[in-house]
Amino acid sequence: MHLAYPAVLAVLLFCVGVYGVLARRNAILVLMSVELMLNAVNLNLVAFDVWLRDVVHSGQALTLFTITIAAAEIGLGLAIVLLVYRNRGSSDVDRLTDLAEPPEHGAPGHGDGTASGAGAADGTAADQNAEATA
Amino acid sequence: MTLTALAALVPLLPFLGAAAGLLLGRRAPGFVRPLAVLPTATSFVLAAVVAARQGTGDPTDAAHKLADTGSAPIYLALHLDGFAVLIAVLVGLVATCVQLYSTAYLRDDPRYPSYAALVSLFTAAMFLVVYSGDLMVLLVGWEIMGICSYFLVGHYWETETARSASIKAFLVTKLGDVPFLIGVFALAADAGTFRINGILTAATHGQLHHPTVIALLLLAGVAGKSAQFPLHTWLPDAMAGPTPVSALIHAATMVAAGIYLVARLLPVFTASAAALAVLAAMAAVTMIGSGLAALAQDDIKRVLAYSTIGQLGYMAAALAVGDRDAAVFHLLSHGAFKALLFLGAGVVIHAAGTNSLTTMSRTGSLAKRVPDAMWTMGIALAALAALPPLSGFFSKESVLRAAEHASAGDTAHVPQAVGWTVFVAGLAAAVLTAGYATRLFLLAFRGSGPDAPDHGRQPVVMTSVLWVLAVPTIAFGGLAYRELPDWFGGAPLGPTLLTSVLGTGLALVGVLITYGAWKAVAATRLAVPAGAVVTAEGDADAEPALVEAEAIATHEEVYGDIAAADDPGDPGRLLLGRLHRHAAHGFHLDALYGALFVRPVLAAAQLVRFLDRDVIETYVRGAGGAPRLLGAAVRKAQTGNIQTYLSALLAGAVVLAVLVAVGG
């Protein structure tokens, strides 16, 4: 088989994955898109391993590694997503913006101490609300 | 105990007393008074024992090498001779009297413990200066006295007057001390030692290479410490401190340290005729100027302060004509009667409720209320005016005798002109001294008018101290002038016919003129009422120091000036005429210094402040502000949406990849 087919397929898979990571709102779909990208890489590894006729098949070995790690990663990721959902009642990625600096309330230039303090206070309040709803 | 050990104990005891007082003052208030009085009194007794055992014998020297400096080593040295032991006795006497007096005068003061400890520390430092045989160790005592004086003048630091007076005292004396320090180093470099004995040997053998420079540098320090023109301006202002402080520091001891130093190092000064001429000119200006200024002061303590300056001028004059025996003789007798005058003034201020002579001259009952103060101060003022047979007469005669001797050209090393300057100035100052002494007595104790508010009986300890000091005031001069030459190992000090007649005659003239002027303005005085009695009805138990502090604070309010009062009934005003206004302000020397030094320094400080605040600070602010603005701009990109970040990351990666591809 010509190398172009698996390569093009990998590119398509990767692009779909990138699109999914960048555009999907649901965290589970984002994780799935990451898997797509990993698998695109796996496909490349296998294809080039064959094409280069590698005696020790390092490409295939690496693919096995990647699959293992991806399994672990998806396990952890899903657990996190589950906890986020339990805490917040939603797993929308674009609503998980607590780490961003909150918009400044007081006059500008009042010092960072007050702003971060207020942010921390807001954060804890939001957490408590989320727990209450969950 | 050996003489050396006894002498070492004399400065040590008050020092330990001070340390203990400072440490225990808060925790054990009961021990404060004994800790203040007993070490000082013991030191006085020990100083007297040392004086008796030293007697007229050869000087005793003892030294322990303290530090090797590479060139001239520093010794912890004792040098006991007639001068040192007698001055130590005077210091001990005055310090003991002052400590006793303070127990009553500042009895309710919350800062009494630290006050008493500082007075003890001061006493220890003065003993150290007197006994020390090494210039460096002497300098240590000298500077400790300076800092103690600063703290004690600023005892009432709540008031602006006291704060600025203490700073002024410190700065002006330091202004003299810097050249002094350089002078000491130059002297040690020339003589190869800091030991005073070694320096004197070098000076008498003509081994000093720069005697004039050294003597002039040392004179700067002496002028600062002993309040000689042109560095005398701190002393009248230092009267913002409590009266016992004025008595101890600014009359009897610290200001005498400068004179004592010149007396010890006299051969260094006689090696240079120029230095003697400068000293004589300084002394002459000081004597006459301070006499005129004293005639115009309204605050009783400022009169005494100017009189102290004048009497120190006499001592400096005696040194200028090369007679240290006369200078130290006058120092001893002056120390006793000036301490008495100040302590008496404290009693009078307490009784009258004011420090203003104008007000006292309108107060009737002062003489009846404080008879002890009146009698003792009368005696002391007569001694100040050098009326025979009081001690001031003999000591001042010895100065005049020395000046007369020098003016005849009979004193080695001393130019005749110096002798004449000192002699004429001394005689003129004798008239002025008698004048202001008489004015002080008449205005304070011979006033007429309504009674002052009663401040209760004077504490016994305060009045008895006055009588104790009255003894040397009366008897010291007459008894001692025959003995002292043995102690000092010098020429006779007794009065000669010429100077006695001249001096006493001029003093009597001064007394009579002032009395006449006082009589002449009596009617005016009765017609024009006093500005106000400064302190209100005080309750009888108020401590004396409070009355004084209040009086000083309100004097400026009532009379519009801290030094002078606008009183047409003042004999001083009649005598001085147009000069009065200038004399009352110390001939505007303060204003001159203000224009010459204070204002430029303040302007320079303003400039520095401007440069710091508006120029350098701008750069600092800019260095902080620019990243802050940048940060604010960059922060806008932080939305919290991970996908935005990832998009940016991807875009960046693509851009980099393209760049690498194109560029590679």
- CB < 8 Å to B641, chain A: 93-94, 97, 100
B640 closest CB neighbour out of A23, A99, A109: A99
Q: Which residue of A has its CA nearest to B646?
A: A22
d(CA B121, CA B335): 19
Q: Which residues contact A82 (CB under 8 A, 6 or more apart)?
A: none
| pLDDT of B23 | 85
Q: Which residue of B has its CA nearest to A109?
A: B628
With beta carbons less than 8 A apart as the criterion, state whether B514 and B434 touch: yes
- Closest approach of A54 to chain B, Cα-based (Å): 27
| pLDDT of A104 | 63
d(CA B120, CA B167): 21
**pLDDT (tens digit, 9 = 90+) per residue, B144-169?**
988 888 898 888 888 888 888 888 88
Cα–Cα distances (Å) from A48 to A4, A66, A70, B636, in that order, read 11, 16, 20, 44
- Does A99 contact B639 at a Cβ distance shorter than 8 Å? no
Local structure of B65: helix, strand or coil: strand
- CB < 8 Å to B635, chain A: 101
Question: Which of B643, B645, B654 should be substituted to probe chain A, the one whose Cβ sees the most A Cβ atoms within 10 Å?
Answer: B643
* Start-to-end CA span in chain B (Å): 100
Q: Which one-letter amino acid corresponds to residue A34?
A: V
pLDDT: which is higher, A118 or B648: B648
- Does A22 contact B641 at a Cβ distance shorter than 8 Å? no
- Does B635 contact A101 at a Cβ distance shorter than 8 Å? yes
The answer to whether A115 contacts chain B (CB < 8 Å) is no
Q: Which one-letter amino acid corresponds to residue A110?
A: H
Q: Which residues contact B315 (CB under 8 A, 6 or more apart)?
A: B226, B256, B259, B327, B328, B330, B331, B334, B399
| pLDDT of A112 | 44
Cα–Cα distances (Å) from A95 to A29, A104, A124, B641, in that order, read 15, 19, 16, 7
Question: Which of B636, B638, B641, B642 should be substituted to probe chain A, the one whose Cβ sees the most A Cβ atoms within 10 Å?
Answer: B642
Query: If pLDDT is split at 50, 70 and 90, which confidence band does A68 have?
Result: very high
The answer to whether B650 contacts chain A (CB < 8 Å) is yes
- Closest approach of B564 to chain A, Cα-based (Å): 55
- Does A21 contact B646 at a Cβ distance shorter than 8 Å? yes
B638 closest CB neighbour out of A98, A100, A108: A100
Half-sphere exposure of B592 (CA within 13 A, CB side): 9
d(CA B411, CA B417): 12
Half-sphere exposure of B129 (CA within 13 A, CB side): 29
Torsion, Cα of B633, B636, B640, B643 (10° steps): -100
Q: Which residue has the tokens 């007595």?
A: B441
Half-sphere exposure of B151 (CA within 13 A, CB side): 16
**Burial tier of A56 (Cβ tally within 10 Å: 0-12, 13-18, 19+):** exposed
With beta carbons less than 8 A apart as the criterion, state whether B564 and B296 touch: yes
Q: Which residue of A has its CA nearest to B635?
A: A101
Question: What six digits make up the tokens of B636?
Answer: 């806008």
- CB < 8 Å to A101, chain B: 635, 638
Q: Which residues contact B317 (CB under 8 A, 6 or more apart)?
A: B280, B283, B284, B287, B399, B403, B422, B425, B426
d(CA B508, CA B501): 10
Q: Which residue of B has its CA nearest to A21?
A: B643
The answer to whether A99 contacts chain B (CB < 8 Å) is yes
With beta carbons less than 8 A apart as the criterion, state whether B333 and B395 touch: yes
| pLDDT of B596 | 86
d(CA B368, CA B446): 10
- Closest approach of A27 to chain B, Cα-based (Å): 11
| pLDDT of B521 | 81
- Closest approach of B609 to chain A, Cα-based (Å): 26
The answer to whether A23 contacts chain B (CB < 8 Å) is yes
- Closest approach of A5 to chain B, Cα-based (Å): 23
- CB < 8 Å to B650, chain A: 18, 22
**pLDDT (tens digit, 9 = 90+) per residue, B242-285?**
888 888 877 778 888 888 888 888 888 888 888 888 888 888 99
- Does A96 contact B642 at a Cβ distance shorter than 8 Å? yes
The segments of chain B whose pLDDT lies below 50 read 534, 536-538
Question: What six digits make up the tokens of B662?
Answer: 């194109």
| pLDDT of A20 | 92
d(CA B44, CA A70): 97
